[in-house]
Amino acid sequence: MTLEQRREAWSSIGAAPALAAISDLFAKVDLSAVTGDRLTVEPEFIEDVDAPLRERLLVHLDRQRPVFAHTSLVGCIREVAEFAEEDGQRALSADALTHFVLSITAENDTTDPILDARVSNPDPNDPEQFMRCAFTMHSTPAPH
């Protein structure tokens, strides 16, 4: 699913119901890190996901590989704020949220080869670029 496909899908989903569903899952995943039951939380969530996808996800979960990355859930929250129907009431299904998360995770897992090459091999004849790359790679953002 591309960003444009997600934008179109989000536009038919209500922002408030979507944020409630994502927040609920996010809270359960976060709490499961403390309680140690993440391998229970995720299978319970995907019970309503279409069978072929659910079966593939259960294989990952059986190998103790989480499906719902925090960064992807945050990406969903950002996309809801940008694309969901502000006053809409249509709920976000577990199936749709799972597809959104997997799509965002796939995007997050890809690298931009040009950026990667530039950061890995900055031009030594351009000290400003070298410093920008070095600073970007080793700095932490200032608190706001």
Q: Are residues 66 and 93 in the same domain?
A: yes
pLDDT of residue 118: 61
Tell me the C-alpha to C-alpha distance, in Å, between residue 22 and each of 70, 120, 139.
Answer: 11, 36, 30
Whether pLDDT at 143 is above 50 = no
Nearest in space to 76 (alpha carbons), one of 17, 144, 22:
22
CA-based radius of gyration for the chain: 19
pTM above 0.85? no
CB 25 within 8 A of CB 92: no
pLDDT of residue 139: 40
Rounded Cα–Cα distance for residues 84 and 19 (Å): 10
What domain range is 130 assigned to? 111-144
Please state the length of the chain.
144
CB 92 within 8 A of CB 13: yes
Q: Are residues 130 and 99 in the same domain?
A: no
What tens digit of pLDDT does each residue of 73-127 get? 999 999 999 999 999 999 999 999 999 999 999 998 876 666 666 666 666 666 6
Q: Are residues 93 and 128 in the same domain?
A: no
What tens digit of pLDDT does each residue of 5-30 get? 999 999 999 999 999 999 999 999 99
DSSP string, 45-67: HGGGS-HHHHHHHHHHHHTT--S
Q: Are residues 65 and 125 in the same domain?
A: no
Q: Are residues 22 and 78 in the same domain?
A: yes
**Could you give the angle at which helices 15-35 and 70-83 cross, rounded to 10 degrees?**
170
